[in-house]
Amino acid sequence: MIMLIGRVRLGLLTMIPNLAPVVFTLGIMGWFGFPLDMVSLMNASIIVGLAVDDTIHFMHNFRREFEAGNSVEDSVDHTLRSTGQALLFTSCVLACSFLVYTQGYLLHLFAFGVTVSAAIVVAFLADVTLAPALVATFADRLSGREKDA
């Protein structure tokens, strides 16, 4: 994330919304009694890969707006209006696509479909709620006024 976004602090900050779906998924697995083994833990890497995509789009557009001189509120608003719709549509398509796995007879396939679909929804919600809250909270530290490590 640091290399993709190009800033150390913003890159580290973006990991929070990306880890939320993984934590949520592990909770779902425990709640439904899905086994926690190597096959099911592979879901975490898939979830992070899917969550990172939306976060990169949000953060890239936010950074571009913010560095153009817009306020944090205006930057978040414009980013959600321009990128948010695409994030919503791709998240819906991905979540519905992974639900196909719930029709499988193997417990691992069913668990994979449920957990990854739910994680995609949580990743979207984190990107449109948690990510804007984080950048608003830490905007003064993210601005170009101070030196980034």
**Token pair in block for residue 59:** 């953060």
**pLDDT tens digit string along 67-93?**
888 888 998 999 999 998 899 999 999
Q: How far apart are CA 71 and CA 26, in angstroms?
A: 37
Cβ neighbors of 57 (< 8 A, separation 6 or more) are 83, 86, 87
User: What's CA 65's distance to the chain center, in Å?
Assistant: 20
pTM: 0.83
**Where does the pLDDT of residue 144 fall: very low under 50, low under 70, confident under 90, or very high at 90 and above?**
low
CATH class of 13-140: mainly alpha
